[in-house]
Amino acid sequence: MIKKDELITMNDGEYFILETLIYDGVEYGFANKIDENDEPLNIYKLVYNENGINKVLEDEKTANILLPLFEELITKEITEGEY
């Protein structure tokens, strides 16, 4: 299941739309960077929230596994019209 359209800011002040993937009972956040016109750029970062602060996951191995899974699921949901 993917939830979408929650606007967040990162600690560097850039704006993203948070898209959340719930997989095997674990919730992962993927931040999609938006431009000055609030249009998504489809540049994703895997994020988590720690004490109310959004941070980028630094573990590249985990990000490299989860990001393709997220992209596959979001493509499937859009294609099947469930989005």
pLDDT digits 0-9 by tens, 55-79: 776 666 666 777 777 677 666 655 5
Collapse the DSSP code of 10 into the 3-class scheme (helix H, G, I; strand E, B; otherwise coil) and give the result.
coil
For the chain, the domain total comes to 1
Instruction: Identify the pLDDT of residue 23.
Output: 65
Residue 82, pLDDT score: 47
Give the pLDDT of residue 83. Answer: 42
- pLDDT above 90 covers a percentage of the chain that reads 0
Q: Name the residue range of residue 74's domain.
A: 2-79
H or E segment and range at residue 21: strand 15-23
User: Mind listing the pLDDT tens digit for each residue in 14-28?
Assistant: 788 887 776 666 667
0.85 surpassed by pTM: no
C-alpha–C-alpha distance, residues 26 and 14, integer Å? 26
Average pLDDT over all residues of the chain: 71
